[in-house]
């Protein structure tokens, strides 16, 4: 569905993506994860055809998305910056979308509007931030585009509405499989939805793997300093702290499966996908604690 090779995107002097490579298969839900400014939105806008690449190759459905009517008609991107005409009611907006997207499901749109208590007579400028995000999400569900892109779709939603959104996304995907890109700062909330994770870090495709592989790529251990140091020496150290005198906790990136039975003196701590992501993309060992430790030494 999506193929990126050696992609560069620059905004004057600012580089948003550099030497970017990825390949995303059809009919999968892929989480696009990264810290603020990593390049997530730029990547998704390139794929949607909203932006023109500076260099490299972006291919979607076999075509250049920036100049392709096929990609435009079969792709929808949902984010909090959607520009909708304020002179139309919500109902009229839905009718206009139905004219453009061939797979539009009018019944689903109306049912979701009723469930989330959005009146077709309301205007988008009168909606709260959360209600506007909910309306945008309804458009994404009802359009049923072969490529559906959600860039931080739950901005402003409360926890209950976010939970409903995730459940609706999964049920709709199972009923009408398609390629979905989902960007979110709440990885802990969406990890059960995802098949794959594309981590964008420092403007590059840092890792592209399954959610289970992400969890297995980072291991936390606790034990005596001697035993922990022996284990850490075999892997890439991400974090290392003395919890109590003589006891150390470390986090490492592993390149292959760890046979835990070979280290009976260590306690292994299972990390969530979100914790693994944070450790992998932390710019400095020790994180923010290092700032205060250095300050105390001055």
Distance (Å, whole) CA 128 – CA 124: 9
* 173: containing domain: 2-213
Last residue of a domain, one of 161, 179, 213: 213
Same domain, 271 and 188: no
Last residue of a domain, one of 188, 213, 238: 213
Same domain, 68 and 54: yes
* Count of structural domains, the chain: 2
| Contact yes or no for 205/178 (Cβ under 8 A) | no
Same domain, 138 and 167: yes
Note down pLDDT in tens along the chain; length 298 residues.
Answer: 999 999 999 998 899 999 999 999 999 999 999 998 899 999 999 999 999 999 999 999 999 999 999 999 999 999 988 889 999 999 999 999 999 999 999 999 999 999 999 999 999 999 999 999 999 999 999 999 999 999 999 999 999 999 999 999 999 999 999 999 999 888 888 999 999 999 999 999 999 999 999 999 999 999 999 999 999 999 999 999 887 888 999 999 997 888 888 899 999 998 999 999 999 988 655 556 666 666 665 5
Cα diameter, the chain: 69
Q: Which residues contact 235 (CB under 8 A, 6 or more apart)?
A: 219, 252, 253, 254, 255
pLDDT at res. 64: 97
Distance (Å, whole) CA 195 – CA 206: 17
Same domain, 89 and 60: yes
Same domain, 110 and 233: no
- 273: left (phi > 0), else alpha (psi -120 to 50), else beta? alpha
Bridge-based pairing of strands 247-253 and 236-244 is antiparallel
Distance (Å, whole) CA 57 – CA 101: 27
pLDDT at res. 291: 62
pLDDT at res. 90: 97
On the CB side of 28, CA atoms within 13 Å amount to: 17
Same domain, 36 and 64: yes
According to DSSP, residue 297 is labeled: H
Q: Which helix (H) or strand (E) holds 11?
A: strand 2-11
**Among the listed residues 170, 198, 202, the one whose alpha carbon sits nearest the alpha carbon of residue 2:** 198
**Among the listed residues 201, 162, 226, 281, the one whose alpha carbon sits nearest the alpha carbon of residue 22:** 201
Same domain, 43 and 168: yes
pLDDT at res. 255: 79
Last residue of a domain, one of 213, 234, 250: 213
Same domain, 204 and 58: yes
Same domain, 8 and 46: yes
CATH of the domain at 76: 3.40.50.300
Same domain, 227 and 263: yes
- Prediction pTM value: 0.88
Same domain, 46 and 150: yes
Same domain, 56 and 116: yes
Distance (Å, whole) CA 258 – CA 109: 48
Bridge-based pairing of strands 147-151 and 179-183 is parallel
Distance (Å, whole) CA 272 – CA 143: 33
| Measured CA angle at 149 (ends 40, 115), to 5 deg | 125
């Amino acid at each position: 569905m999506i193929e990126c090779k050696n992609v560069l995107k620059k905004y004057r002097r600012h580089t948003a993506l550099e030497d970017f490579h990825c390949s995303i298969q059809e009919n999968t839900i892929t989480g696009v994860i990264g810290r603020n400014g990593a390049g997530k939105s730029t990547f998704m806008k390139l794929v949607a055809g909203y932006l023109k690449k500076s260099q490299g190759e972006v291919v979607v459905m076999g075509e250049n998305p920036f100049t392709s009517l096929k990609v435009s008609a079969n792709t929808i991107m949902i984010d909090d910056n959607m520009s909708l005409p304020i002179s139309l009611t919500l109902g009229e907006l839905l009718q206009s979308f139905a004219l453009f997207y061939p797979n539009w499901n009018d019944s689903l749109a109306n049912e979701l509007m009723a469930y989330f208590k959005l009146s077709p007579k309301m205007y988008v400028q009168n909606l709260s931030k959360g209600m506007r995000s909910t309306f945008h999400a309804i458009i994404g569900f009802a359009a049923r585009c072969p490529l559906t892109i959600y860039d931080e779709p739950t901005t402003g939603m409360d926890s209950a509405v976010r939970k409903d959104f995730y459940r609706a996304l999964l049920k709709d995907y199972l009923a009408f499989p398609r390629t979905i890109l989902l960007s979110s700062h709440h990885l802990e909330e969406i990890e059960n939805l995802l098949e794959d994770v594309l981590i964008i870090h420092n403007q590059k495709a840092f890792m592209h793997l399954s959610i289970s592989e992400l969890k297995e790529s980072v291991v936390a251990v606790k034990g005596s300093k001697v035993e922990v140091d022996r284990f850490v020496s075999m892997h890439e150290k991400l974090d290392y702290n003395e919890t109590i005198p003589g006891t150390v906790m470390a986090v490492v990136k592993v390149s292959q499966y760890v046979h835990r039975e070979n280290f009976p003196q260590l306690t292994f701590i299972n990390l969530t996908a979100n914790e693994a992501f944070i450790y992998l993309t932390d710019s400095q060992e020790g994180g923010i604690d290092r700032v205060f430790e250095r300050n105390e030494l001055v």
